[in-house]
Structure 1
Amino acid sequence: MPDYSTQPRAAKRTPRSRSRPRKFLRFLVFLGALAASLLIAFHTRIPDRLGLGLLVDNAAPWFGLLIPVLLLAALVSRSKTSLVVLLVPILTWVAAFGPSIIPLSWTAPEAAAQTLVLASQNIKAGTGAAAQSALELAADGSDVIALQELDADSANKVTDSLGAAYPHHFVVGTVGVWSKYPLEGSRSLDLGLGWKRALRTQVVTRNGEVQLYVIHAASARPNDHIDRDVMLDELASTVETDPQKHVIALGDFNATSTDRSFARISSVLKEPNQDDGLFGFTWPRDPFGMMRLDHVLVRGLEVTSNTTVPAGISDHLAVRATVNLPES
């Protein structure tokens, strides 16, 4: 008869050994919740060394994606405390970005008798599709069309394509504007760089003048965004001292609203929310947007609509806004 007493027995897992992975998961949840909360709330305080500041600023809204991952870890850890801890990054994200993603359609004023519809797009140099973008934006009912990344040939094609419907235009460097209404006082702006990537003009409507700024900010890369920062700062200074009551600035700012270099211009002008809410990412167009580099900013005007629309074959979506003109 075999002696089973001498056979090795399988080791049993004690409750203590089973709890170790769960404790580690709880620790990861706590650490992840703290990191996510700090990154969301204080991303502009991170030193911009080796381009880290630019990357973190632009990624700030996306840090919210850490929360579902942490939630899964909290559920696996079977810790009620972990679930409570997750309220910290959730509330931090909501406080930081919640007001900016509320649909404009919930609070927008009613359209007045006289409105102005403006559209803007970076048409992407070299595509040869500037005229296509312009015609599609015109078909959407735009009164003013601003384009960036133009060259002389594409600007001429836009003017020819829009024809008599947009008899007023002004082009300087890589930016241009075409309008159904007269343009006065048009001038180029170098914004501290010495080359022409911005303009200012007055759109003269039946209800008064609107000061319009069109900008194509310099490119921003992790270790090369000084020129862009200078342009945005100079634009803010120019607009801040502009005596005009009704002001609109639009174009490709090459900066997201969470970028620390965008903070000053957004304190001088206001960016309205999107009609349907969320962030209104404009780039890249395909397969899906990740950043909003193109903006419409206003002062002294009611915005009744603000949205993104596809036009042409650019890698940027166009932005389009409707504002109420002041009563004459």
Structure 2
Amino acid sequence: MVQAYKAETGSGGPGDLGEPAPRPGGRFRRLRTVGPFRPWRDGGLWRRGIVIAVLAVGVALFTALHARVPNRIGNLGSLSETFLPWLPALAVPLLLAALWRRSATALLALLLPVVVWLNLFGGLLTDKSGSGGDITVASHNVNAQNPDPEGTARDLAESGADVLALQELAQSQVAAYRTGLRSAYKYHTVQGTVGLWSKYPLKKSAPVDIRMGWTRALRSTVATPRGDIAVYVAHMPSVRVKMHAGFTANERDKSADALGEAIALEDVGKVVLLGDLNGTMNDRALRAVTSQMRSTQGAAGHGFGFSWPASFPMARIDQILVKGLEPVASWTLPRTASDHLPIAASIELD
């Protein structure tokens, strides 16, 4: 009677009608397989994406330890340092993969490349430029195949620079630049494929041997109202990335060493280097020059000041470096018909 009553009223306990009693925690187990808890079923937020996390750590280490990447094999160290600000971009596909895999471990590991990048380049994000300055200098690789040298000369004449350096001057176009810059600059010298135009008198202008076999560098003394400054103009040999040889920069490296030696022997205490160095300030191969001079962009610029290629600048290979002088501001000028952007800086002479 009691059992019949329980069956009719449904008041019997679990298992009274042959149904298995639910196990403790069973409802939670079912909940884990649906909705936001589903990721735990197939590996967990923290247990998946380990490979992605390892690759992210590798990108961070490669960026942080770039100085230890050897140059013996295809100049890999110099190549990575040329595009060093872009190396953490390798983490972008890893980020997409981490999101697709819904991996908390991978996402946490991807913070490492960000931290390393900020440590190396965060200072460039602040605006360090000031106002004033005693002299404005500019530099531009005008491109030997420039389709509009007259227009380029006109644009540069309107830049307001007191001293202007040009590289990659084709002999057939030198006359166009002389004519276009004549009204803005009273003094100039052209040595081989580089030239210097100035509003102040030039003296002791001469080629500088950078071990290339022809002239691609010069030195001149600029007599400013606040004293003499030695100005060097240089165009380092081009570099290429080749499948069979890697980063072919040996000729450039030899020229950089020769230029560094010439600057180290300079008698004038105030020195400016203007030119296309075909390398960045991070590139160890340019240490003969960069170890004794300051970058105006790094000291008084805003951002990276990328100058090449003009259509989508990715690297600062055009440089304005100073020694014994104080940079006030540094910037890029509007694009001309060249494949490089012009760059400029204002400098205090006292």
TM-score, reference length from structure 1:
0.85
Aligned length: 308
Q: Does the CA-based 8 Å contact 1:220-1:228 persist in structure 2?
A: yes
Q: CA deviation at 1:142?
A: 1.1
Larger radius of gyration between Structure 1 and Structure 2: 2
2:65 match: 42
Which SS does the other structure have where 2:84 is aligned? helix
State the distance in 2 between where 1:46 and 1:276 align: 28
Q: Map of 1:97-176 to 2, 5 A cutoff? A: 97-105=121-129, 108=130, 110-112=131-133, 115-176=134-195
Amino acid at match of 2:328: T
Q: CA deviation at 1:161?
A: 1.9
Instruction: Decide which of 180, 193, 198 is 2:217's aligned counterpart.
Output: 198
Amino acid at match of 1:55: L
1:250 aligns with 2:271: no
Deviations 1:178-211 (A, max 9, x none): 1111001111012123321000001101110111
1:65 match: 89
RMSD of aligned Cα (Å): 2.5
2:30 match: none
State the distance in 2 between where 1:16 and 1:145 align: 64
- In structure 2, runs of 5+ residues without a counterpart are 1-32
Instruction: Decide which of 297, 300, 307 is 2:321's aligned counterpart.
Output: 297
1:3 match: none
Deviations 1:62-94 (A, max 9, x none): 112234444444455555554443343222212
Mark the CA change 1:102 to 1:265 in structure 2 (over 3 Å): closer, same or farther. farther
Q: Map of 1:272-291 to 2, 5 A cutoff? A: 272-273=296-297, 277-286=302-311, 288-291=312-315
Amino acid at match of 1:182: P
Which SS does the other structure have where 2:240 is aligned? coil
State the distance in 2 between where 1:124 and 1:244 align: 31
- In structure 1, runs of 5+ residues without a counterpart are 1-11
State the distance in 2 between where 1:203 and 1:173 align: 19
Instruction: Decide which of 99, 103, 112 is 1:88's aligned counterpart.
Output: 112
Q: Does the CA-based 8 Å contact 1:103-1:273 persist in structure 2?
A: no
TM-score, reference length from structure 2:
0.80
State the distance in 2 between where 1:94 and 1:20 align: 30
State the distance in 2 between where 1:92 and 1:215 align: 33
State the distance in 2 between where 1:203 and 1:15 align: 70
Q: Does the CA-based 8 Å contact 1:104-1:272 persist in structure 2?
A: no
